[in-house]
Amino acid sequence: MLSAGTWPSTCLSPKCAASIRISIDLPSAPHPTRPPDVPFPDIDPVAFAIGPLTIRWYALAYIAGILLGWRLLSQSIHRFPANATPKDVADFVLWTILGIIVGGRLGYLLFYGHDILARDPSAAFAVWQGGMSFHGGLAGSAVAAWLFCRIRGLGFASFCDAIACVIPVGLFFGRVANFVNGELWGRPTDLPWGVVFPGAGAEPRHPSQLYEAALEGIVLFVVLRFLATRTPMVHRPGALAGVFLAGYSCSRILVEFVREPDAHLGYLAGPLTMGMVLSIPVLIIGAIVWVQAYRRPGP
């Protein structure tokens, strides 16, 4: 027998020692590792600058959405019984821009930034400082469309149908711009596509802006395009506008469950966020508009 102090010298060789070390290390189970986080793309929010004038990607997104929407609306307006022409569409572009800016800014200050307005009423006109509400912009655009149709003698409901079919284009570009700006991010997640946003801590978060771009932009556009070209729904004035309102609201409410609520508002009641509270009435209005469209006598 060998005593504790009489180990053979061969067992102290480097080869023997390595074998002992390996036999000890092998049984240990590997620790599961989380997939690496997706780094936030290093994109300068300023697209380009001309002297003191800086053009941001966010502004380009609005411009791209309006121009592409204008083109698509001009090409498709003949399908809708609104008695509108491509020239009417071109004339309406300025009305749309004014409705989006005025309604979007006032909506933001009313729903999200009333404290800003209380401190400085002149902030209502500081659109260059950011802060726009889609729900406010939607209301402003609806008022602009109603006034425009009254002046031109166009069918308001059918004209809104035509507009509704191209709004998702602007929504897509707008949500992508939100992602580029690193704003309106989602809640923390351990999913492999979680993104670490600058200014949002070290936790990976849902890229909720891209979820909205996919649902409110791509999916809703495809659905409305199909209904407008493959079904007789265009002959039910208001029906497509109702589908848009309901479809947008459902998409927004769904994404709100993984979107971080506004820091200064938080949750309004339980899981309810301001986005949900504003979208629920729009969903109801969309359903009512759709039902009313089918209650009217058909062609």
pLDDT digits (tens, 9 = 90+) for 135-152: 999 999 999 999 999 999
User: Would residue 107 count as lying in a domain?
Assistant: yes
C-alpha–C-alpha distance, residues 130 and 65, integer Å: 18
pLDDT of residue 128: 58
User: Would residue 22 count as lying in a domain?
Assistant: no
- Beta-carbon contacts of 72 under 8 Å, excluding residues fewer than 6 positions away, are 165, 166, 169
For 288, the 3-state DSSP assignment is helix
User: Would residue 285 count as lying in a domain?
Assistant: yes
C-alpha–C-alpha distance, residues 15 and 143, integer Å: 85
pLDDT tens, residue by residue, 14-62: 444 444 444 444 444 444 455 556 767 777 778 888 888 888 888 899 8
C-alpha–C-alpha distance, residues 187 and 259, integer Å: 5
Q: Measuring CA to CA, which residue among 135, 141, 58 is closest to residue 97?
A: 141
User: Would residue 178 count as lying in a domain?
Assistant: yes
User: Would residue 23 count as lying in a domain?
Assistant: no
Q: Position of tokens 């978060």?
A: 205
Which residue type occupies 215? L
Instruction: Please report how the helices 86-111 and 57-76 are oriented relative to each other, as an axis angle in degrees rounded to 10.
Output: 140
Note down the domain range covering 177: 37-295
pLDDT of residue 57: 83
Q: Measuring CA to CA, which residue among 170, 181, 179 is closest to residue 100?
A: 170
Residues of the chain with pLDDT under 50: 1-32
Q: How far is CA 266 from CA 114, 194, 256, 299, in A?
A: 15, 21, 12, 48
Beta bridge partners of 46: 56
| Strand 53-56 versus strand 46-50 pairing type | antiparallel
Q: How many structural domains are present in the chain?
A: 1
User: Would residue 4 count as lying in a domain?
Assistant: no
User: Would residue 11 count as lying in a domain?
Assistant: no
pLDDT of residue 25: 45
Sign of CA dihedral 144, 145, 148, 149: negative
User: Would residue 10 count as lying in a domain?
Assistant: no
